Structure 1
């Protein structure tokens, strides 16, 4: 692909057919309750007839007790790193109080009351996404946390236990998003915020329920752009591209480079690695959605990256910090070949739920801030200056009631 064609190749928004399908599902769950949810779960998630759709803390604890000790210890270690990073972020946002004319103003920082955390599970079990979402919610102080994932295995349930989830909804897709958003009488209470990655139906459903609940960001099929120069190792690039490609047939791995010899060398490594990869069927389909572009300068390569605003950006260049400083739009950057994107996926600290489809232009990734509300307050002892300006500005806007409410307080200021 020519470097000037990269922007035009950017992923399109959710297609109309997927939106319409997700809308039908979410509306049927909203109006049909438990019966509708079970019908969708049996049809789409493989839920066995009569099987429980919701598990509580006791069931999660039993699942945790059933997995090998080393597996549980692994989940605890990863959760600890995610929690530590989230708590450090939380410490960066504190309550504020400042002087204003006539008094004080400020803000408080409070978590949402309840969050629904979605973790994909249709193709592979993803306990890492359970940890990324639910551990971060708890670090933010969320009181009630629900995890949803279809056909969960014991390790996924154990991850929910480690993350201190209150409930586990054994349902996936748009139907899970609807259940958490609208609630299901007698089964699930509605949450205030739905977060987590998923396929296009999950992404579409989050878009549909927004307004009834908050959402984090569009987090659809995975994207990776590797930006590389002549210093890059082609085999490591191939490994990173395949790591993203195996997520989903709709995943999008891409290479942008200033070295015209690199694509062929990466291709050789890709074919060798692909032949040995157990997930090669999925990865091959995703590779067909990707691209390679050669730029004649680093400036042109950086411009192409910014136009894509990729979810993941792997910087395999001689000076990755300088390259990062020149870029404005990406979900998460991985600086240098040691800092593989896979370490972000599996709990080095920062969250792996990231904006896709160009949403990095206006959104960052999931973080503890996602679960927090900044609420302002105002306390005035004297209203002369503020009151006169409020009255005069209201009169300019011809809002007499506003002007009179301000005027009513001026006599006592």
Structure 2
């Protein structure tokens, strides 16, 4: 980790620290666009081609059967089932509070405006299963979809070499009431959900993480009117830890490595108000990395990371807001009293016991969060993302007469005479009574 002193950095250098590693999407899009186009045109034929080519699996049927679902549940250990049930319980408890309320207001006599929430009818969930299956992501996306009341929930995940789906993914999907599970991965899965094939239904919005190719495919279908909306832009996983003299170096090091092990391009940052403690934490990071199975991946990420010495907590939090991390850990004394100072972050972990892993799996908050600095303008996934709001207005005859002059004047100002006439004709009618 490269070491910096905040009081020696100018604004340009601080801004540079906040920039994530560049991803050359032009090259990636060149590879992904033909896949997306082929799935759009050829449907299942293209899915079979790319499943064989990229996953080394020959499939005749993509849909997971009821028999496969039942078998998957039997193959899972009691301990894993118990853990998934606890996570499910906590996640659903927190997310139940997120459903938006309807409201109605009379803006002026005779004019009543209201807003109602409606579930997005058809949604698609992409669940990666590369180096390891991610049943936690099934819960993080499936539970909000369930609570929102989405009519059709389609889940796509890459097939294993035996042509099946990881039992943990099937079990988690079962907990969420998801039955439409397809053995399709990568950019081809995104295209299948966006446009529909003979087997995979078309959806209106696609959720879920993935590699650069999945992200590129989501970008492509989101700008195609015939495609589908997406949850948010995505980048590599990231963490920023704020530490002080009282922070345990082993705790902080473990948290940094928990994100560093995701991929070599994970963003790992530390800002500490004590240089001695910062040095202790960095030494502990390399010590703990030695025993990791993904040591090389983690160390590459750490080497690209940064460690900043700040004069006080206020400066550290100011930098955190500029950086806008996916995960922000306040491993400091009395962390709760600084909550109001946090403006930009995907999810915040307060105090020394709040390790990032808890939020990833089972605290109840969602782990699908904005990365790449998008926490400045995006929120993490919630029930609201699976819903849309519809506004209504009811106008009485009294309302027409009260608002007519305003509407006609504004229509006249904008030169839209049909707009003016639509209002005027009602006024004339009421005045004739």
- Give the TM-score of the pair, scaled to structure 1: 0.94
Determine if contact 2:94/2:364 at 8 Å carries over to the other structure. Answer: yes
Q: Unaligned stretches of 5+ in structure 2?
A: 160-164
Residues paired across the two proteins, number: 409
Q: Does 1:365 align with 2:365?
A: no
Moved beyond 6 Å, runs of 4+: none
Q: Unaligned stretches of 5+ in structure 1?
A: none
Q: Residues 193, 405 of structure 1: CA spacing in aligned structure 2 closer, same or farther, 3 A cutoff? A: same
**Structure 1 position 269, deviation (Å):** 1.3
Distance in structure 1 (CA, Å) of the matches to 2:248 and 2:143 = 35
Distance in structure 2 (CA, Å) of the matches to 1:250 and 1:361 = 20
Cα distance per residue 1:324-349 (max 9 Å; x no partner):
32121110100111111110001210
**Alignment partner, residue 109 of structure 1:** 117
Distance in structure 1 (CA, Å) of the matches to 2:351 and 2:15 = 24
1:209 aligned residue (204, 217, 221): 221
SS at match of 1:261: helix
Q: Does 1:400 align with 2:413?
A: no
- Give the TM-score of the pair, scaled to structure 2: 0.90
Q: Does 1:129 align with 2:137?
A: yes
Determine if contact 1:13/1:357 at 8 Å carries over to the other structure. Answer: no
Alignment of structure 1 residues 9-408 onto 2, 5 Å: 9=17, 10-11=19-20, 14-15=23-24, 16-44=26-54, 46-50=55-59, 52-90=61-99, 93-101=100-108, 102-151=110-159, 152-184=165-197, 186-211=198-223, 212-382=227-397, 383-408=400-425
**Structure 1 position 203, deviation (Å):** 2.0
Determine if contact 1:225/1:312 at 8 Å carries over to the other structure. Answer: yes
Cα distance per residue 1:83-118 (max 9 Å; x no partner):
11111211xx11111113323210111110011111
Determine if contact 2:154/2:201 at 8 Å carries over to the other structure. Answer: no
**Structure 1 position 270, deviation (Å):** 1.4
**Structure 1 position 54, deviation (Å):** 2.4
Distance in structure 2 (CA, Å) of the matches to 1:171 and 1:150 = 5
RMSD of aligned residue pairs (Cα, Å): 1.8
**Structure 1 position 398, deviation (Å):** 0.6
